[in-house]
Chain A
Amino acid sequence: MNEQLDRLLDHCIKCSDCQGVCPVAAHNPQYPGPKLLGPDLARIKCAGGAKGNTPEAAGELLRSLEMCSGCQRCELACPYGVPVAQLIRQNRDVLQRKLLLRDKMLATPQVLGQMGTAIAPLMNPVLRNSLVQKMIKGMLGLEMEQPLAFASRKDLLQPTLRQWAGAAEGKVIYFPGCHVNYQEPEVGRAFLQLLDILGVKALVTDQICCGMPLLAAGNREKAHTAFQRNIQIFKEYVEQGSQIVTTCPSCSLTLKKIYVEELGTEEARQLASAVYDYSEYLEQYSSCLAALVHPLRERAAYHLPCHTQAQGTGLAGLQLMRLVPGLELNVVDDCCGQSGTYGFKAEKQGVSRAIGSSLVWRIASIEPDIIITPCGSCKDRLSFASGVQTVHPVQLLNNACQK
């Protein structure tokens, strides 16, 4: 554990604010909560000395480390600036568990995606079959009730970054992330169209993963390799002042915050300062967009995903939506419980559903025509659980501009 983290650890005064906002702790009686798994366990680790010996007392806590969904709400709630989520992540090191096949699959969405998209027309109906779902659950421990739907290969976004021979200077690079790459290329296309309308020609990266799923699966070593690889890919562009824009809040959070926390290198910091959430990037075009959008008469539930809140860009996204006249926005900001790969793990399904159900109730009470959320995995969960059409903000903006 590094020195800076040690210092921040001392800021925890055990006020339990993090316990109060943790969605997992609120729905799982076995879960000790972020205070115990973060700062408390980190203290025990410190007491164990440099060798990382963990006293027996921590044994019970350790088994709960994997139940953290990584939503980062504890960190946002902390009044004293303790990086609770980071501490929990780092504490996972003491957990020496062999990864299951399922964990490995979820950790590498590119592999899964490439396979899935190759046989999408065949695969998608099969995955919708309840018998198949049960088999997968029994064999792999994968919860498939909310089916994965892959895009077919012909619909995928075309990477253009590698082919680009011109100057890197000042280019806008779009980082679609795995969800857009393999499941919803239409979101990426909508974003590119929108940029096109605004006169911005963006380059699209190859199908690379930000590395967050590896970290979530507990494979820190490989995650760091992926981080380093991505930093090298973008190094040249970052140095020449390019901007890297994503439409996925988890990807941008990882690139902006997790890389820096995990690696702590200057290169990571440089990359972080060049990464933009779509909303941050589009902010500069607000007046332009305001002139372009047509009114939409719709009652919408606008969901703020955890990872959008964790980077403080929720406001920017909301203000973009407010540009659309006639769009009635009702903001909801609870966790949907899916948390990327979390909701796919059978043992976490109960708590994941329980977290999501209160949000779905709130959305239902709004009676929306449409749900808007920038996060792919939230989007899948919400449309599955509520049955309401769910779109990404850039899709909505693009539609409003096209009409």
Chain B
Amino acid sequence: MIYDVVIIGAGLAGMTAALKAIEMGKKTIVVSHGASTMQVMSGCIDLYGDDRNPWPALEELVSQNPAHPYALLSQEEIQEALSFFIERMKESCPYHNQEGFTNFRIPTAFGEERSTCLLPEGQFAGQSAAADVKSRVLVVGLKGYPDFSAELLVEGMHKRGYQGWDAAEVDLSCLQMPGERNERVKRAGTSSRRHKGLSANSVEIAKRLEKSWQHFAEELRGMVQGFDAVAFPAVLGLDEHLVVKRGLEKYLGVRVFEVPTIHPSLPGIRLARSLGAELRESGCDFLQGFPVVSADIRERQCGSIIASTPGRPRCVRGKNFILATGGVLGGGIFAERKGAREVVFRLPVANPGADAYIQADPHSAKIADLTAALADTHSSRAADLIATRVAALADDAHKEQSGTPGNRRKADSPQFTTSGLRHQISISQAGVRVNQQLLPVDEDGSVLLENVFCAGRILAGYDPFIEGSGAGVAVSTGYKAALEAGRLGNNE
């Protein structure tokens, strides 16, 4: 079987591309190594920057940096992609947006403020709570879930003048696990590991809440009197998060919202699952769990990709391909000290502003020595040796920091300002250069592959961590890649 569109990568860009390709009536398959990195995602679709209205800033960015992925789309196209995304997620994972796709302001887990363009329903009430300085909000922490501190959030809000925010804590023992009997739970679950002071994972709590959010609501009922809204860490359910959130709101009579936490982050996992489910229902095929190790390329046309499966490799044939394997974190780019490479098609990796990264590190020789010493742990003198080396390294580092001229350029050891940090981790700009059709190009701009479109984090020239543009680029370039692939398919 030959697919119309083969998508490599099951992250936000890949799955958005798949949704669009399916909608265009293309036979589509998503091939991925593992689950995506969406488990570290807040679930919000950040577009760009911190302004209330991100569009003027975006225009400026694109004019200053024509190699930025946003420069590949018009503002209308980006908005079209966002609308498409909202429309398709309407049922299973609904999103809210403001008129003209301006930014929402929402509180973070530290009680600070951040901007985002599309808000999932679970976090929606957060923006109205943060809009009014006089709002009364109860932040509920969970005993046994150390990844979220209600006090920390409330402290941050107080510092910013939101005096009506209060912290509270609920014990997780009121939650029932599927398969656990009622009586056992009522006896405070003494047999459970989780209640002996050990902590629980957010996914686990979410699963429990799905089954017994009513017990949880019962526990909360007395606490929420006089508050406008209640905030929770983002653990309110996984596959049935809408039931839990809406149920709690109805039962408690106040608005409920979630604040995203560290990974595993439920809002990201929910979005990934909803996208997957939506695709499955629309008839998209999946091959998950195996790396794509090579491709069959003839005359700049890819005919098939080869996934490494047990026994023998599996070949997936297609007319058009979308490369959405992600960056360094997602595994689309493999980085080492010598440089970086793209893993599927061996496309050249550009790294705008790579000087700090590519340059030989004066420390590396010393580190090699140290590794050799560590390998020789049987030697009685090894411990002494290591201790001396570590002290010497620390000494060097100290000298460099205090400004003693070493063989490092001064610009490479800056104070930790935002711009310095950006320079330090310039690997986050590494990626594949593409043309306006999202086809990969080399340094001179000539097309390397004519039916492989790149989308999302694999693209060069932007830093999602500094810009706050990761999800926005993923959705819009994923959408565009599908359009381009579909268009090419129709012309044949």
Contacts and interface: CB of A to CB of B under 8 A. Distances in A.
Contacts of A351: 179
A19 B201 contact: yes
Contacts of B37: 15, 79
A331 B282 CA distance: 11
B310 interface: yes
A313 interface: yes
B288 A20 contact: no
The number of chain B residues touching the other chain, given as a range, is 35 or more
B55 interface: no
A310 B289 contact: yes
Contacts of A280: 311-312
Contacts of A263: none
Contacts of B401: none
B193 A313 contact: no
B424 to A, nearest CB: 20
Contact of B307 (A25, A252, A276, A312): A312
A60 to B, nearest CB: 7
Interface string A26-67: 111110110000000000000000000000000010000000
B368 interface: no
A29 B331 contact: no
Contacts of A210: none
B219 to A, nearest CB: 18
A77 B34 CA distance: 4
A210 to B, nearest CB: 14
A76 B269 contact: no
A309 interface: yes
B203 A16 contact: yes
A17 B314 CA distance: 24
B311 A256 contact: yes
B91 interface: no
Interface in B313-360: 314, 330-331
A24 B58 CA distance: 46
Contacts of B178: 27, 354, 357
A76 B193 contact: no
A33 B311 contact: no
A272 interface: yes
A312 B310 contact: yes
A240 interface: no
Interface residues of A, number: 48
Contacts of B194: 29-30
A318 B285 contact: yes
Contact of A16 (B179, B264, B289): B264
Contacts of A402: none
B168 to A, nearest CB: 23
A351 B207 CA distance: 14
B287 A25 contact: no
A331 B1 CA distance: 18
**Which of A28, A29, A75 has the most chain B CB atoms inside 10 A of its CB?**
A29
**Which of B40, B285, B311 has the most chain A CB atoms inside 10 A of its CB?**
B311
A223 interface: no
**Which of A15, A21, A253, A314 has the most chain B CB atoms inside 10 A of its CB?**
A15
B110 to A, nearest CB: 21
A264 interface: no
A67 to B, nearest CB: 12
A311 B122 CA distance: 37
A157 interface: no
Contacts of A350: 179
B39 interface: yes
B177 interface: yes
A366 to B, nearest CB: 11
Contacts of B310: 253, 256-257, 260, 272, 310-312
Contacts of A16: 39, 201, 203, 263-264
**Which of A26, A75, A333 has the most chain B CB atoms inside 10 A of its CB?**
A26
A216 interface: no
A77 B192 contact: no
Contacts of A256: 310-311
A283 B13 CA distance: 31
Contact of A30 (B40, B193, B208, B307): B193
B99 interface: no
B311 A276 contact: yes
B207 A312 contact: no
Contacts of A289: none
Contact of B331 (A33, A80, A309): A80
Nearest to A36: B201
A81 B33 contact: yes
Contacts of B177: 27-29
A199 to B, nearest CB: 23
A76 B276 CA distance: 15
Contacts of B331: 79-80
A331 B277 CA distance: 10
B445 to A, nearest CB: 32
Interface in A368-390: none
Given A77-B289, A357-B178, 7 more contacts: A16-B263, A29-B192, A79-B33, A79-B331, A280-B311, A312-B290, A350-B179
For the complex of A and B, list the 9 residue pairs with the smallest distance between their C-beta atoms, beginning with the closest.
A76-B289, A312-B309, A256-B311, A354-B179, A79-B34, A257-B310, A16-B264, A256-B310, A77-B35
Interface of B: 1, 29, 33-37, 39-40, 177-180, 189, 192-194, 200-201, 203-204, 207-208, 263-264, 269, 280, 285-291, 307, 309-312, 314, 330-331
26 contacts: A15-B37, A16-B203, A17-B35, A17-B264, A20-B203, A26-B203, A26-B207, A29-B180, A29-B192, A29-B208, A33-B201, A79-B33, A79-B35, A79-B36, A81-B33, A81-B291, A252-B311, A253-B310, A257-B310, A312-B307, A312-B309, A313-B309, A313-B314, A315-B287, A331-B280, A351-B179
